[in-house]
Amino acid sequence: MFYREAGDFKTSYQEDNQTFPIRFDRYRYYAVLAVGFLVIPFLINDYWANAILLPFLIYAIAAIGLNILTGYCGQVSLGTGGFMAVGAYACYKLMTAMPEVSMFIHVILAGGVTALVGVLFGLPSLRIKGFYLAVATLAAQFFLVWLFNRVPWFYNYSASGQISAPERDVFGILITGPNTQAWATYLFCLIFLTGSAIIARNLTRGKLGRTWMAIRDMDIAAEIIGVNPLRAKLSAFAASSFFVGISGALFFSVYLGAVEVGEAFGINKSFLVLFMVIIGGLGSIFGSFAGAAFLVLLPVALKVVGVDWLGWPTDIVAHLQLIIVGALIVAFLIVEPHGLAQLWRVAKEKLRLWPFPH
């Protein structure tokens, strides 16, 4: 009923293999983009930007990055927080070293730096796999956080050991610093998210993505049919770290503005992003969005219900949040290992046939 395919004819392979083959679906995608780019910037205020929209956009980029590595290539990483820190510190060093260059370029360069670091820490993945690797990526997490804490060069010898974003602009519009406009920061992050999603989607359905998925499904078999595991795993680490680095750079420069590395990029951040990927759906770009939205909205919703409506102390709500998140992770793994994305897929299947069951 809602998803009509009747009359939606494909006459070329290209049309048959597009991301949204059903016309209604495609138009809905354009509509979402239009709302995101043309409507929300005019309605946005500081609260919405800082409490919900900016974290959602930034975490969604990080989730896309981790999803490439974990969901598509099967290499579980617990080092996401550390790689986000690399992006943040790379961005900071670039911003202070080259003030006249546009923020766009800084953020992308920060992603590139993170990709290099990611490849470096991805090297052991050729020998070890599974949770041995998951634990090995913790080495990246702890080492990188320690490094940024202890080597003064990274924070420009500032007295507090923190890094704080100076004012930088894109085409004369301030993006970082204390005097930004909500709509400008929002659009800046949205552009990066849209770009990331499109690039990730096309990477994962191309040749590279197929080699990743072959490695994920069975690495030895993949090697036998001619996939080069070295190239596949390291490219996954590079692509994943690139997106994670971008999200780290945005997280620091646009969202927080000032960062203490152990607090902002600690081990909990790694788990948070991993949870987004699990709840949203492993191996799905839409899942990264859904998971990020879910875990950004959950604390806000709990706070509204628990603190504002019921008047409970905040620490109880914080504990409840841990319990709920933990239970949800377990529940999703048991009931729907492919996460919210799979629920969405099932819903779409049903809607295609509705109101007829077959």
Partner 1 sequence: MPEQLLFAIEVTLNGLMAGVLYALVALGFVLIYKASGIFNYAQGVMALFAAMTLVGIMQGQVPFSHLINAVFGTEVHHFGWHVPGVVAILLTVGVMVVLAWMVQQFVMRHLVNQEPIILFMATIGLAYFLEGLSDLMWGSEIKKLDVGLPQGLNAWIDETTFNLFGYGFFIDNLDIVATIIAALLVAALVAFSQYTKQGRAMRAVADDHQAALSVGISLNFIWVLVWSVAGFVALVAGIMWGTKSGVQFSLSLIALKALPVLMLGGFTSIPGAIVGGLIIGVGEKLFEFALGPALGGATENWFAYVLALLFLVFRPQGLFGEKIIERV
Give contact residues for partner 1 (rule: CB under 8 A). Answer: 74, 76, 124, 127-128, 130-132, 134-136, 138-139, 142-143, 145-146, 149-151, 218, 220-221, 224, 267, 271, 274-275, 278, 310-313, 315-316, 319-330, 333-334, 337
> Could you tell me the smallest distance in angstroms from the CB atom of residue 332 to partner 1?
8
If the CB atoms of residues 128 and 258 are measured against partner 1, the closer one turns out to be 128
Of 6 and 220, the one with the shorter C-beta distance to partner 1 is 220
Q: Is 315 exposed, middle or buried (0-12, 13-18, 19+ CB in 10 A)?
A: exposed
Q: By the 8 A CB rule, do 234 and 208 touch? A: no
Residue pair 209/72 in contact (Cβ under 8 Å)? The answer is yes
Helices (H), 205-228: 207-217, 219-224
CB of 127 to partner 1, least distance (A): 5
38 vs 224, beta carbon nearer partner 1: 224
Ramachandran angles phi, psi of 93, nearest 5°: -65, -40
Cα–Cα distance measured from residue 351 to residue 354, given in angstroms and rounded to the nearest whole number: 5
Question: How far, CA to CA in Å, does 182 sit from each of 36, 85, 186, 237?
Answer: 14, 24, 6, 33
3-state DSSP percent of the chain in helix, strand and coil, to 5: 75, 0, 25
Least distance (Å) between residue 66 CB and partner 1: 12
* Shortest spacing between CB 4 and partner 1, in angstroms: 37
**Tokens at residue 149, please?**
């804490």
Residue nearer to partner 1 on the CB measure, 311 or 355:
311
Output 147 or 191, the one with its CB closest to partner 1: 147
CB of 95 to partner 1, least distance (A): 24
- Judged by beta carbon, residue 130 or residue 166, the one nearer partner 1 is 130
CB of 229 to partner 1, least distance (A): 13
